[in-house]
Amino acid sequence: MLPQEEGVCLRCLGRLPRVHAEQHDNAVEARLVGRFPFEHATSFCYYTRPGSMSSAVMQAKYADRPWINTHMARLFARELSLFADPPSGAAPASSQWPFDIDVIVPIPVHPLRLMWRGYNQAAAVAEGLRDVWHLPIESRCLIRSRYLRTQVGLSGQERILHEAGSFTVRHPQRLASRHVLLVDDVLTTGSTMVAAADALLSAVPGVRISVLTLAMAE
């Protein structure tokens, strides 16, 4: 790569299949609407196989390259931040990403999987967002309490049943009355986000939730 390229070459970056989900009523929000109350939802690119985005996500998740997710998240946050400086007469910056989000919460992996893999790929996404938006990361509250086999190959309904009740919340006072950004690498059916959001909404008084992922399956 060239010296000015970070994480992904400029040629590949230009070819990534963008979701362009900067505003309300986008495809990401449509996938989650009615399943739990949320403020905003967005994804960077579509996840298609084979493809450059799916290759990057798989390498970050399974090939000991979490830094790919961090670099991609930085790119995404910078692009979203461009919409925070609207032209004259447009919406004020407070209505643009990162809105009034207080804290980033990465979707956790089970401790056994964390021990085996050595890292949480969603936490790597959160770190990239933090670098640009200077928001704190809270990784102690949302816990994956059940070890689940991979969801690859499961139908949408099977994924919902698979994820139900798989998260618990500790130290809910850390997130009380705060606007939480739930972060993951890929949004497929949304079952993981629904299960995580349900756990937070049940345990944390006054919590508000927004969602960001690097990729969204078509």
Type of residue at 129:
L
| pLDDT for residue 105 | 98
Count the Cβ atoms, other than its own, within 10 Å of residue 173: 9
Instruction: Please provide the distance, in angstroms rounded to a whole number, between the alpha carbons at the two ends of the chain.
Output: 29
Q: Is the pLDDT of residue 143 over 70?
A: yes
Q: Pick the closest to residue 155 from 217, 80, 214 (CA basis).
A: 217
pTM for this prediction: 0.85
Per-residue pLDDT, averaged over 107-135, amounts to 94
Q: Is the pLDDT of residue 4 over 50?
A: no
Mean pLDDT score across all residues of the chain: 85
Q: Pick the closest to residue 168 from 99, 108, 216, 103 (CA basis).
A: 108
Per-residue pLDDT, averaged over 13-30, amounts to 84
Per-residue pLDDT, averaged over 167-189, amounts to 96
